[in-house]
């Protein structure tokens, strides 16, 4: 179409505005009145730490996730490491997790002095593979940290069965998956849930934030103490803790946003369906699949491409005005920080293949259908170009 009109093509190219991988301003504009009045109320009230909004948010998140207790914290990373601390996991212990995640997952294990042990992921779901988990269990294993990557629940039925059989704890990395479900149960209710409210997450604050969810009242109390310098009462300290509070302004913002979360998740799911419809007939794109009994919340919509084409396709998409991202280019067992663990290239073939093949496309509630169509068509075109070059 366009190549027939070189002069017009030029003008059209100039008009292309970048479709970003994520855009937070339009969401704020949408809920500005509610957010502004919630923030103003906190400012007028003058209570900035441990105020009523933090307490209310904890109850609302507990109810949303379907557990008895929620403890607000400064970040998702703190939720992970304080969960392990509160369970008494430390030096000499092993914790099994996925090598295909953000560094915070293994960082939390390292912070408490335990050793991360990796198990490979499943090729289709990008989440940890239960038989691989079972294969690396030793007498030192204390816990498993499944990561609900991209917004899809890990195989919790199988993982809970393994945990019960070997008496292991489950700490769920729910940072990307608030609202995700498996068999009508929400993530964060299968084990101890660790959520992040980093601005880019599906429920994002305007700063850092996190939450731990559990049905165990003792664990919740221990984390409450750890987050406040290791004491239940101010100025009385039983153990070394940390300072990890969620502040009142962020809690007020999150309470407003929580009321819109399910609508925003449905918009993400709408765009995921739209993408998948367009990729259905295209052999060059492997679209993400939603497993049976799942509610995928599409924190990311991540396709797989031929490994030798991925970076070129990403560059060409950028030329077409489409920003994409690679989550994550280096699996955790190949990170320099984890070199002392002694893993080598080839140890986790599925995680390594995923790191070379994945590409995440723009998906956020405020994306328009027209923008999504442009992304999908640009991707199909970029892939076809390479196929044509090979054929000639
Ligand atoms: C964002 C993220 C975290 C860390 O959350 P923070 O709130 O940034 O500390 C942990 N794990 C995964 C998989 C994440 O995406």
DSSP 339-352: GGG---TTSSHHHH
Cβ atoms of residues 361 and 379 within 8 Å: yes
Q: Is residue 4's pLDDT more than 60?
A: no
* SS3 label, residue 173: strand
Could you read off the pLDDT of 333-354 as tens digits, one per residue? Answer: 999 999 999 999 999 999 999 9
Which residues are CB-contacts of 176 (< 8 A; sequence separation ≥ 6)? 147, 148, 149, 150, 151, 196, 201, 202, 299, 300
Residue nearest to atom 13 of ligand 1 (CA): 102
Best probe residue, ligand 1, of 83, 126, 171, 176 (max atoms within 8 Å of C-beta): 176
Q: Does domain 25-120+127-258 have CATH number 3.40.640.10?
A: yes
Q: Which of 105, 106, 179, 164 is nearest to 130 (CA)?
A: 164
Between the CA of 200 and the centroid of ligand 1 the distance, in Å, is: 10
Q: Which of 254, 224, 217, 250 is nearest to 82 (CA)?
A: 224
Q: Where does the pLDDT of residue 3 fall: very low under 50, low under 70, confident under 90, or very high at 90 and above?
A: very low
Residues touching ligand 1 (Cβ under 6 Å) are: 75-77, 101-102, 104-105, 147, 173, 175-176, 196, 198, 208, 210
Residue 181, judged by CB atoms within 10 A of its CB (0-12, 13-18, 19+), counts as: middle
Return the CATH class of domain 262-391.
alpha beta
Q: Encoding tokens for residue 274? A: 């739209």
pLDDT of residue 390: 63
Q: Which of 366, 186, 368, 202 is nearest to 274 (CA)?
A: 368
Residue 14, judged by CB atoms within 10 A of its CB (0-12, 13-18, 19+), counts as: exposed
pLDDT of residue 391: 60
**pTM exceeds 0.85 for this model:** yes
Q: Which residue has the tokens 């294969």?
A: 135
Q: Where does the pLDDT of residue 218 fall: very low under 50, low under 70, confident under 90, or very high at 90 and above?
A: very high
Between the CA of 102 and the centroid of ligand 1 the distance, in Å, is: 7
Domain boundaries, the chain: 25-120+127-258, 262-391
- Cα–Cα separations (whole angstroms), residue 134 to 10, 170, 182, 344, 351: 57, 13, 21, 20, 17
Q: Which of 332, 322, 330, 387 is nearest to 360 (CA)?
A: 322
**How many other C-beta atoms can be found within 10 angstroms of the C-beta atom of residue 370?**
9
The two domains 25-120+127-258 and 262-391 share their CATH topology (first three levels equal): no
């Amino acid at each position: 179409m366009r190549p027939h009109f070189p002069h017009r093509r030029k003008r059209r190219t100039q008009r292309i505005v970048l479709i970003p991988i994520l855009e937070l301003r339009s969401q704020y504009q949408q809920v500005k009145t509610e957010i502004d009045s919630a923030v103003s109320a906190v400012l007028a009230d003058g209570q900035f730490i441990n105020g009523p909004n933090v307490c209310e948010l904890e109850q609302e998140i507990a109810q949303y996730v379907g557990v008895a207790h929620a403890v607000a914290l400064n970040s998702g990373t703190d939720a992970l490491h304080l969960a392990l601390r509160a369970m008494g996991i430390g030096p000499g212990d092993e914790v099994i997790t996925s090598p295909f995640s953000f560094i915070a997952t293994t960082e939390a294990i390292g912070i408490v002095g335990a050793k991360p042990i990796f198990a490979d992921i499943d090729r289709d779901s990008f989440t940890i593979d239960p038989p691989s988990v079972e294969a690396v269990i030793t007498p030192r294993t204390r816990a498993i940290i499944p990561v609900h990557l991209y917004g899809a629940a890990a195989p919790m039925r199988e993982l809970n069965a393994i945990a019960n059989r070997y008496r292991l704890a489950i700490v769920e990395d729910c940072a990307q998956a608030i609202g995700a479900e498996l068999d009508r149960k929400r993530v964060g209710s299968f084990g101890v849930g660790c959520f992040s409210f980093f601005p880019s997450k599906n429920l994002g604050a305007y700063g850092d934030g996190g939450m731990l969810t559990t049905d165990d009242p003792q664990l919740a109390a221990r984390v409450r103490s750890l987050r406040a310098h290791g004491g239940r009462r101010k100025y009385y300290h039983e153990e070394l803790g940390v300072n990890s509070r969620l502040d009142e302004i962020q809690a007020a913002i999150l309470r407003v946003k929580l009321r819109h979360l399910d609508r925003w998740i449905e918009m993400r799911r709408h765009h995921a369906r739209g993408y998948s419809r367009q990729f259905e007939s295209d052999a060059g794109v492997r679209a993400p699949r939603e497993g049976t009994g799942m509610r995928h919340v599409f924190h990311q919509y991540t396709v797989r491409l031929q490994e030798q084409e991925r970076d070129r396709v990403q560059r060409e998409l950028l030329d077409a005005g489409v920003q994409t991202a690679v989550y994550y280019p280096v699996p955790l067992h190949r990170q320099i920080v984890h070199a002392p663990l002694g893993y080598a290239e080839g140890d986790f073939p599925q995680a390594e293949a995923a790191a070379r093949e994945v590409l995440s496309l723009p998906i956020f509630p405020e994306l328009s259908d027209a923008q999504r169509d442009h992304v999908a068509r640009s991707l199909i075109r970029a892939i076809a170009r390479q196929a044509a070059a090979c054929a000639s």
